Chain A
Amino acid sequence: MLGCHKVLDLSGQLGWLAGRMLADLGADVIKIEPPCVAVDATDWRAGNVNKRLLRLDPASRAGRKVVQRMIRRVDVLIETASPGEPGDAWLQFERLSRLNPGLVHVSITPYGSHGPRARWRGSDLEIMAAGGAMALAGNPDGTPLRISVPQAGSWAGAHAACGALVALSHRTACGKGQHVDVSAQASVLVALAHAPTFFDILGEVPGRAGSHITGRTVHGAVYRAFWRCKDGYINFVIYGGPAGRRTNKALVAWMCERGLDLGPLAAIDWDMFDPKLATQSEVDRIEAPLAAFFAGITKYEFLEGACEREMLGYPASTVADIASDPQLESRAFWQDLPDSSGGIERHCGAYYIADKQRPRIRNSPAASKSDSADILREFGFSAREVEAVLMTETMEVA
Chain B
Amino acid sequence: MTRGPQALAGTKVVEFGGYAAGPHIGKMLANFGATVVHVESHGRPDGFRLQYPPFKDGIAGANRGGCFAFFNDSKYGVTVDLKKAKGLELARRLTDWADLVVENMRPGVMARIGLGYDEVRRTNPGLVMLSTCNMGQTGPRAHTPGFGSQLSSLAGFCGTTGEPDGPPMLLYGPYIDFIASVMGCSAALAALEQRRRTGSGTCIDLSQYECGLHFMASALLAYQRDGTIAARNGNRDSTAAPHGAYECQSGRWLALSCWSDAEFNALVATLGCRVLAEDPRFASIEARHDNVQTLDDALSEILSELDAEQTAAALQGNGVRAYPVNTVADLFGDPQLCERRSWRTRKHEEIGEQAYLMPGFDLSLTPGEVSRPAPLLGGDNDIVFKEFLGLSEDEFQAYTAAEAFK
* Interface residues of A, Cβ cutoff 8 Å to B: 1-2, 4, 17, 20-21, 25-26, 42-43, 45-47, 93, 106, 111-112, 114-123, 125-139, 143-151, 154-156, 158-163, 165-170, 172-173, 176, 178-202, 204-207, 209-213, 225-226, 228, 232-233, 235, 237, 241, 243, 303, 306-307, 310, 312-320, 322-323, 326-328, 330-331, 333, 339, 345-348, 351-356
Within 8 A of A (CB), among B46-105: 48, 51-56, 58, 66-67, 69-71
What is the 8 Å Cβ interface bit string for chain B, positions 220-245, against chain A (1 contact, 0 not)?
Answer: 11111100011111111100100111
In the bound assembly, the distance between CA atoms of A158 and B193 in angstroms comes to 18
| Interchain residue pairs with CB less than 8 A apart (17) | A46-B220, A115-B339, A130-B323, A139-B169, A169-B192, A192-B173, A193-B174, A194-B48, A196-B332, A197-B354, A201-B354, A307-B140, A314-B154, A318-B156, A318-B229, A328-B209, A328-B210
Check B186 against A42 for contact (C-beta < 8 Å).
no
Check A319 against B243 for contact (C-beta < 8 Å).
no
Residues of A near B230 (CB, < 8 A) are: 148-149, 318-319
B43 at the interface (CB under 8 A from A): no
Residues of B near A168 (CB, < 8 A) are: 189, 193
In the bound assembly, the distance between CA atoms of A45 and B145 in angstroms comes to 34
In the bound assembly, the distance between CA atoms of A303 and B140 in angstroms comes to 12
Check B71 against A194 for contact (C-beta < 8 Å).
yes
B159 at the interface (CB under 8 A from A): yes
Residues of B near A313 (CB, < 8 A) are: 150
Check B215 against A151 for contact (C-beta < 8 Å).
yes
Residues of B near A167 (CB, < 8 A) are: 7, 363, 366
Check B321 against A122 for contact (C-beta < 8 Å).
yes
In the bound assembly, the distance between CA atoms of A318 and B263 in angstroms comes to 34
Check A123 against B8 for contact (C-beta < 8 Å).
no
In the bound assembly, the distance between CA atoms of A351 and B151 in angstroms comes to 16
Q: B302 to chain A: closest CB distance in Å? A: 16
Which of B168, B214, B247, B355 is close to A235, meaning CB atoms less than 8 Å apart?
B168
List the B residue with the shortest CB-CB distance to A247: B145
Check A347 against B221 for contact (C-beta < 8 Å).
yes
What is the 8 Å Cβ interface bit string for chain B, positions 251-281, against chain A (1 contact, 0 not)?
Answer: 0010111010000000000000000000000
Which of A26, A115, A200 is close to B335, meaning CB atoms less than 8 Å apart?
A115
What is the 8 Å Cβ interface bit string for chain B, positions 336-354, against chain A (1 contact, 0 not)?
Answer: 1101101000000001001
In the bound assembly, the distance between CA atoms of A117 and B190 in angstroms comes to 33
In the bound assembly, the distance between CA atoms of A223 and B384 in angstroms comes to 44
Check A114 against B328 for contact (C-beta < 8 Å).
no
Check B339 against A201 for contact (C-beta < 8 Å).
no
Residues of A near B71 (CB, < 8 A) are: 194
Which of B28, B209, B245 is close to A144, meaning CB atoms less than 8 Å apart?
B245
B138 at the interface (CB under 8 A from A): yes
Check B342 against A125 for contact (C-beta < 8 Å).
no
**Chain B interface size, under 10 / 10 to 19 / 20 to 34 / 35 or more:** 35 or more
Residues of A near B328 (CB, < 8 A) are: 132, 135-136, 192, 195-196, 198-199, 205-206
Residues of B near A161 (CB, < 8 A) are: 183, 186
Q: Which of B198-206, B385-393, B395-403 contacts A (4 or more CB under 8 A)?
A: B198-206
B167 at the interface (CB under 8 A from A): yes
Given contacts A317-B154, A330-B140, contact A26 B214 (CB under 8 A): no
What is the 8 Å Cβ interface bit string for chain B, positions 361-402, against chain A (1 contact, 0 not)?
Answer: 111111000000000000000000000000000000000000
Q: A75 to chain B: closest CB distance in Å? A: 11
B37 at the interface (CB under 8 A from A): no
In the bound assembly, the distance between CA atoms of A317 and B150 in angstroms comes to 11
Residues of A near B253 (CB, < 8 A) are: 129, 134-135, 143-144
Check B156 against A129 for contact (C-beta < 8 Å).
no
Q: A329 to chain B: closest CB distance in Å? A: 9
In the bound assembly, the distance between CA atoms of A4 and B132 in angstroms comes to 26
Closest 7 CB pairs of A and B: A193-B173, A187-B360, A163-B361, A115-B339, A129-B255, A197-B66, A165-B189
Residues of A near B256 (CB, < 8 A) are: 125-126
In the bound assembly, the distance between CA atoms of A139 and B162 in angstroms comes to 8
Check B141 against A47 for contact (C-beta < 8 Å).
no
Residues of A near B329 (CB, < 8 A) are: 199, 205
Check B222 against A42 for contact (C-beta < 8 Å).
yes
Residues of A near B179 (CB, < 8 A) are: 154, 158
Q: A142 to chain B: closest CB distance in Å? A: 8
Q: Which of B71, B185, B361 has the most CB of A within 10 A?
A: B361
Residues of B near A183 (CB, < 8 A) are: 336, 340, 360-361
Q: B126 to chain A: closest CB distance in Å? A: 13
Residues of B near A121 (CB, < 8 A) are: 316, 319-321
Residues of A near B165 (CB, < 8 A) are: none
Beyond the given A162-B361, A181-B361, A331-B210, could you list 16 further A-B residue pairs with CB under 8 A, ordered by the A residue number? A25-B187, A117-B316, A126-B256, A137-B169, A143-B244, A149-B157, A189-B342, A193-B174, A193-B175, A225-B170, A307-B144, A345-B221, A346-B221, A347-B224, A354-B204, A355-B203
Check B323 against A196 for contact (C-beta < 8 Å).
no
Q: A43 to chain B: closest CB distance in Å? A: 5
In the bound assembly, the distance between CA atoms of A243 and B146 in angstroms comes to 9
Q: Which of B175, B187, B197 has the most CB of A within 10 A?
A: B187
Check B202 against A1 for contact (C-beta < 8 Å).
yes
List the B residue with the shortest CB-CB distance to A187: B360
Which of B7, B204, B218, B255 is close to A134, meaning CB atoms less than 8 Å apart?
B255
Residues of B near A158 (CB, < 8 A) are: 179, 182-183, 186
In the bound assembly, the distance between CA atoms of A142 and B210 in angstroms comes to 31
Which of A190, A315, A355 is close to B178, meaning CB atoms less than 8 Å apart?
A190
Residues of B near A241 (CB, < 8 A) are: 51
B326 at the interface (CB under 8 A from A): yes
Given contacts A149-B156, A319-B220, A352-B204, contact A129 B326 (CB under 8 A): yes
